[in-house]
Amino acid sequence: MMSGRYPQKTVKEFIKVLDNLESNAEYKGMDLDRLRIVNATVHKGTIVKRFTPRAMGRASPKNNVLTHVELVAQEV
């Protein structure tokens, strides 16, 4: 059994991408039963730079790296 937050959060975001793929295919008039994912890629996105305050007036960087998920589907 997996515990923790990270795998569950990632899966929820990936399910959103799959739902978006399905709704886009439905909007374009494709048959959802014949739809197959032919390519899936993940690209590095922008880096959100923040700073965390520390003791004695210092600060530590806190970088958040975003990713872009690309799914390509076609009817077979």
How does residue 2 score in pLDDT terms, banded at 50, 70 and 90? low
Provide the pLDDT for residue 24: 94
Provide the pLDDT for residue 20: 95
Contacts of 40 (CB under 8 A, 6+ apart): 69, 70, 71, 72
pTM of the predicted model as reported, rounded to 2 decimal places: 0.69
b/e map 9-20, b = 16+ CB within 10 Å: eeeeeeeeeeee
Predicted confidence (pLDDT) per residue in 14-65, tens digit: 999 999 999 999 999 999 999 999 999 999 999 999 999 999 999 999 999 9
How does residue 4 score in pLDDT terms, banded at 50, 70 and 90? low
